């Protein structure tokens, strides 16, 4: 079954190696920072575009009673995620539903206490990004949180060069629709969310934050 955003099949076999060669541990450190804000108890968590599945073990270690829906558009990435879970957290397999698809594969009755988008929202051109954001926010329970780890506007010239090379590489290899990095915190605040606990990594090129509903002053 081929999904609209399944281009990451082409690089699934070496994605983690490539990421570590370029960014070292920065991507994982950003994800760990965002996951520090997982709510207690047994939250229902939506992970969108989770890639090869490393994040699953981290989520279940921090929130061992969580119920997780793991949505991934790439069949190869989804298979790697299932294998990763079997290897790293086998006793939690019943708590995770793997679903091949995009945001369109969510159904109306599904709602979540936590939305997780790690290095995912930067893949889409503005019109598609707006659609993704609104659909995911509609699936967020009132009072639910949105955990973000992603690239942000690079403060240094070499980072801007690196970002341009990255977008060119992923356009060629995976056919992503984005041509430049969106201002993700700005887009999330347009949904009525406020950012807190922002942390920076890789000399300011990567950020992690939690977004939650704005409260009246």
Q: Specify the pLDDT at position 5.
A: 74
Cβ atoms of 201 and 22 within 8 Å: the answer is no
Neighbours of 14 (CB within 10 A): 10
Measured distance CA(75)–CA(171) in Å, rounded: 19
Q: Indicate the pLDDT class of residue 216, thresholds 50, 70 and 90.
A: low
119 secondary structure, DSSP code: S
Measured distance CA(17)–CA(2) in Å, rounded: 25
What digits encode the pLDDT tens for the residues 32-65? Answer: 999 998 999 999 999 999 889 999 999 999 999 9
Buried b vs exposed e over 122-131: b needs ≥16 C-beta within 10 Å? bbbeeebbee
pTM here? 0.94
- Token look-up 């995976």 returns 174
Measured distance CA(202)–CA(206) in Å, rounded: 6
- What are the structural domains of the chain? 6-212 (3.40.50.150)
Q: Specify the pLDDT at position 86.
A: 94
Q: Lowest-pLDDT range, 6-15, 18-27, 144-153? A: 6-15
Q: Indicate the pLDDT class of residue 214, thresholds 50, 70 and 90.
A: confident
Quick one: average pLDDT of 79-94?
94
């Amino acid at each position: 079954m081929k999904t609209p955003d399944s281009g990451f099949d082409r690089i699934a076999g070496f994605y983690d190696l490539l990421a570590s060669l370029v960014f070292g541990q920065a991507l994982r450190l950003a994800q760990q920072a965002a996951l520090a804000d997982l709510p207690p108890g047994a939250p229902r968590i939506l992970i969108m575009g989770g890639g090869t599945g490393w994040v699953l073990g981290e989520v279940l270690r921090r929130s061992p009673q969580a119920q997780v829906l793991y949505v991934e558009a790439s069949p190869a990435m989804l298979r790697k995620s299932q294998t990763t879970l079997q290897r790293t957290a086998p006793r939690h397999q019943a708590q995770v539903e793997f679903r091949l698809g995009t945001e369109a594969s969510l159904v109306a009755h599904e709602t979540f206490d936590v939305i997780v988008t790690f290095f995912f929202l930067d893949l889409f051109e503005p019109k598609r990004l707006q659609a993704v954001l609104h659909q995911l926010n509609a699936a967020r329970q009132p009072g639910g949180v949105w955990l973000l780890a992603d690239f942000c506007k690079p403060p240094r010239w070499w980072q801007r060069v690196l970002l341009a090379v990255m977008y060119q590489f992923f356009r060629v290899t995976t056919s992503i629709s984005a041509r430049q990095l969106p201002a993700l915190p700005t887009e999330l605040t347009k949904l009525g969310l406020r950012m807190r606990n922002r942390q920076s990594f890789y000399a300011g090129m990567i950020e992690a934050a939690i977004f939650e509903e704005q409260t009246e002053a």
